[in-house]
Structures are given as C-alpha cells and as structure tokens.
C-alpha cells in the first residue's frame, strides 16, 4: 500500500493552519499528537502514523483475514477511518495506539462478517478472534520492552490481574467497564485494582 494512497480529502470543515507537527524519524512518534494533527486536517499526522505503524497494522490484520491482499485492504480502509474520525479520539478513554489498532482489528473482523473471505468463520469464532488478537497485542507490548527497562521490571512486579488491567487500559484502549467484563470483576473492583496498580507502578518507578 503506497503512501500516496493516503491523499484523501477531509470530509468535514476544519482549520488547516500549520500544526507544527514534523514527521518523526524514529519509533517514538507520539500517536496522540499525530491523531490531533489529523483531527485538525494536517495530513502530516496521518503520514506519521502510516510511516511508523502501517507494517505492524498489516501484520495484525493478516492474522485475522489470513491473506496479505485483504490485510492491506483492511489497513487502507482503516486509515481512511483514522483520518475522518480522529476528532473522536479521547485520551482519557485509552491510549492512541489502542484506538488505532482497535480500528484495524474491527475492520478486519467486519471483513469476515461481510463475506469477503471464502473460508468464513462463525460469529462466536469472530468474537474469540477479536479478544485473542487484542490480548496478544497487549502482552506483546509488554514483552517488547527492553529487558533492562525499569518499566518492564516494575510491571513484572505487579500481580497478574493488576498488570493485565493496566496494559488493557493503556495499551489496548479498553474502558474500565470493558476491563471489568473481561476480567469478570465488578466495575468498582476493576477501577480500584487499576488505580492501586498505577500507584504501585509509580512508587516502583520513582
């Protein structure tokens, strides 16, 4: 999928003043800033996301649809949605990365539902795929941390449920309600565990 394919027209009125967002040249691109740039009509924001995430997003989509050509189609459509819906991203509800990857996963699953693959799967299998892909990405983010990373060490010191809750919130982009449902906890308990886990993490990192 060529970068040139990302030259879409923005469907809504927006300010097109200079955003000051320069294309990043390393993998520490701030995706939240890039999404804000997209929301203001700055295509540099979309290019920044594409340059640093497109390959990984295609891999995520391909694990679901099983074909490279369909995975590229998924990501192409996902970038259109990222561009046109960036203004809906709310940092307080989850990470920018989680929001972007959720769009790709959902589009891939919708492709299966729409019948664009010959070997269609059942609805229950689609739901299982959605959760398993999300959980895989969440744990992969933790394992990708450098072995000597203080953050990795501190996360490893948390009990499994608190660690998973924090990763689901800040990597997977899950809401507290979604986390409670998947961990089979009362909402108040899930919120409390995440809050205590973050406090323990801050103390460890200090």
Q: Are 96 and 170 in contact (CB under 8 A)?
A: no
- pTM to 2 decimals? 0.52
Rounded to whole angstroms, how far apart are CA atoms 134 and 136? 5
Q: Are 197 and 165 in contact (CB under 8 A)?
A: yes
Q: Are 45 and 19 in contact (CB under 8 A)?
A: yes
Q: Which two tokens stand for residue 92?
A: 């307080």
Q: 19-121 maps to which CATH number?
A: 1.10.1740.10
For the chain, give the mean pLDDT: 75
Residue 130: HSE in the Cβ half-sphere, 13 Å Cα cutoff: 20
For the chain, domain boundaries = 19-121, 145-206
Name 118's Cβ contacts closer than 8 Å, sequence gap at least 6. Answer: none
pLDDT at 130: 55
3-state helix, strand, coil in the chain (%, to 5): 70, 0, 30
pLDDT at 23: 32
pLDDT, tens digit (0-9, with 9 covering 90-100), for 132-180: 666 666 677 666 777 777 888 888 888 888 888 888 887 766 778 888 8
CA 158 to chain centroid, in Å, comes to 23
pLDDT at 136: 66
Range 145-206 has CATH code 1.10.10.10: yes
> 32-36, 118-122, 174-178: which has the minimum mean pLDDT?
118-122
Tell me if domain 19-121 and domain 145-206 are identical in fold: no
């Amino acid at each position: 999928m060529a970068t040139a394919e990302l030259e879409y027209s923005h469907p809504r009125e927006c300010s097109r003043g200079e955003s000051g967002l320069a294309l990043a040249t390393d993998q520490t691109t701030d995706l939240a800033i890039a999404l804000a740039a997209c929301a203001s009509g700055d295509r540099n924001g979309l290019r920044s996301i594409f340059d640093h995430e497109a390959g990984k997003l295609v891999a995520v989509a391909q694990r679901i649809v099983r074909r490279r050509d369909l995975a590229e189609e998924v990501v192409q459509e996902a970038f259109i949605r990222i561009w046109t819906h960036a203004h809906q991203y709310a940092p307080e509800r989850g990470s920018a990365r989680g929001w972007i990857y959720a769009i790709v996963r959902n589009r891939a699953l919708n492709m299966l539902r729409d019948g664009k693959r010959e070997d269609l799967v059942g609805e229950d299998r689609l739901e299982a795929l959605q959760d398993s892909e999300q959980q895989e990405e969440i744990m992969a983010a933790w394992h990708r941390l450098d072995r000597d990373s203080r953050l990795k060490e501190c996360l490893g010191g948390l009990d499994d449920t608190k660690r998973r809750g924090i990763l689901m919130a800040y990597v997977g982009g899950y809401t507290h309600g979604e986390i409670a449902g998947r961990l089979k906890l009362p909402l108040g308990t899930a919120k409390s565990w995440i809050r205590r886990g973050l406090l323990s993490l801050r103390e460890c990192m200090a």
